[in-house]
Structure 1
Amino acid sequence: MRKGYILKKIIILVLILALPGFLYYLLTAKGKNRYKPLPFYGPKMVAKTGHKFHGKYIPDTIYHKLSDFNLTDQNGKPVSFKNFDKKIFVASFFYTNCPDICSAVNKNISELVYAYRKNRMVYFTSITVDPERDTPPALKKYSSRYETTNKWLFLSGDTATTYSLARNGFLVNAVQKNEHDFIYSDKLILIDAEKRIRGYYDGTSAADITKLNDEIKVLIAEELRKVDKPLY
């Protein structure tokens, strides 16, 4: 049973590495594949713990992590970290009455959602900055434009929660300018399984969407390597 499980993981990993754009993230050292790691964004601090590398003691680094949140999805169901336990997810901000930019960003997200529709490790979230109008029923109606399945959650919460989450968690801007206008980031934000920020991408840029697609694969490979670490 264990051998079959390991073989399955190896096959998945090989398939990931075989994808053309992903090759950019590979380095070769002593005949072994090494991944070019993604950066960590946000403030960081030196931990009191450490580890040895080639006989040298190296202090561990504590990276910025999202705090847990409690929001509601388009189906009226509560959403928190429990929904993303050991999962990778891509977050974004929007509102249903925004100009064309939201449609452009969400169209690009929908293509990624489709690409990862069978992958249990990858999810997508779009958080409204206009919760007063973007109630769960309104988000449900809006989400019907896209083939969301259960991989793409449209989330709402009170502005105190969502704006704080944007600024202090995802480290992007979100503020209501007036009754009908909002200032918010159009970035897509890549979050790893440990709830750390690993990338920001222009949601309207084809080049950035391709880069995001490749870097999602990097995180998938990281997670698979954790499971089968003794093999590598």
Structure 2
Amino acid sequence: MKKLILLFIPLFIIACGNNPEVIEDMGDASFQLVNSDSAEVVFPDDFEGDYVVMGFIYTNCPDICSLITQNLVKIQKELNYPEDVQFVAATFDPVRDTPSKLKQYGKAFGVDENFTFLTGDSTEVFALMDSARVRSQVSFTQQTESGKELYFINHSDKIMVLDKQARVIFEYGGSQPMIPSLVVEDLNKVR
């Protein structure tokens, strides 16, 4: 009997490690957004049944947003472009980040087929950000000579992973260089 118990303990530990704690359940949420092809996307409903690796960016960001996007692309490559994992980058600057601007931004990073950029109506975008606990605030504003408003945004640095039921199960500092390997390791444990 003692040998039998010792045999099951490692299996129990492995099984528990494959069921991470739910940080936030977004399964009941519904956000009407658009992707970089101007197609309507209901988040997270349209991704149900897949894991989602999601980052939060804006295309005029002078620093960490490009690192977050690079990390999402690296994770996708390290996972060998899996069919059961969708990659999403949502903007918190919907005024400037139009679908065409996001498409152009994605091309600069060489994003793949199962990589979606999301924007939309400000109300919906900010509701998504609140639900994901992403904070942003305009930090600098200046009027150019041509009358165009120039601004930068301070914001959360986050990549999160949603399981197939749209529950947030992992969160990471999105711009950190070691994040891709951590996300790959964690995803492989639960997949």
The reply to whether residue 29 of structure 1 matches residue 8 of structure 2 is: yes
The reply to whether residue 79 of structure 1 matches residue 28 of structure 2 is: no
**Offset of residue 39 of structure 1:** 1.8
Pairing partner for 2:73 from 106, 110, 122: 110
Asked if the contact 2:48/2:166 (under 8 Å) is kept, the reply is no
The reply to whether residue 217 of structure 1 matches residue 188 of structure 2 is: yes
* Residues in 2 aligned to 1:206 and 1:178: alpha-carbon distance in whole angstroms: 27
Percent identical pairs in the alignment equals 24
* Residues in 2 aligned to 1:188 and 1:30: alpha-carbon distance in whole angstroms: 33
Asked if the contact 2:52/2:162 (under 8 Å) is kept, the reply is yes
**Offset of residue 162 of structure 1:** 1.2
Matches within 5 A, 1:187-206: 187-206=158-177
2:156 alignment partner in structure 1: 185
**Offset of residue 97 of structure 1:** 0.6
**Offset of residue 164 of structure 1:** 1.4
* Residues in 1 aligned to 2:180 and 2:40: alpha-carbon distance in whole angstroms: 29
Asked if the contact 1:113/1:148 (under 8 Å) is kept, the reply is no
Amino acid at match of 1:128: T
2:22 alignment partner in structure 1: 40
TM-score by length of 1: 0.67
Asked if the contact 2:33/2:120 (under 8 Å) is kept, the reply is yes
1:173 alignment partner in structure 2: 135
The reply to whether residue 65 of structure 1 matches residue 22 of structure 2 is: no
Structure 1: state its 5+ residue gaps.
1-27, 43-63, 221-232
The reply to whether residue 143 of structure 1 matches residue 106 of structure 2 is: yes
SS in structure 2 at match of 1:29: helix
CA deviation vs aligned residue, 1:57-100 (integer Å, no higher than 9, x gap): xxxxxxx3240211111111111234312110011111111112
SS in structure 1 at match of 2:185: helix
SS in structure 2 at match of 1:120: coil
* Residues in 2 aligned to 1:30 and 1:94: alpha-carbon distance in whole angstroms: 43
Amino acid at match of 1:181: F
**Offset of residue 216 of structure 1:** 1.3
Structure of greater relative contact order (alpha carbons < 8 Å, 6+ residues apart): 2
SS in structure 2 at match of 1:214: helix
Amino acid at match of 1:76: S
The 1:149/1:208 distance shift into structure 2, 3 A limit, reads closer
Asked if the contact 1:129/1:175 (under 8 Å) is kept, the reply is no
The 1:106/1:146 distance shift into structure 2, 3 A limit, reads same
TM-score by length of 2: 0.80
Q: CA RMSD in A?
A: 2.0
Structure 2: state its 5+ residue gaps.
1-6, 142-150
* Residues in 2 aligned to 1:31 and 1:199: alpha-carbon distance in whole angstroms: 23
SS in structure 2 at match of 1:144: helix
Query: How many positions carry a matched residue from both structures?
Result: 171
Amino acid at match of 1:164: A
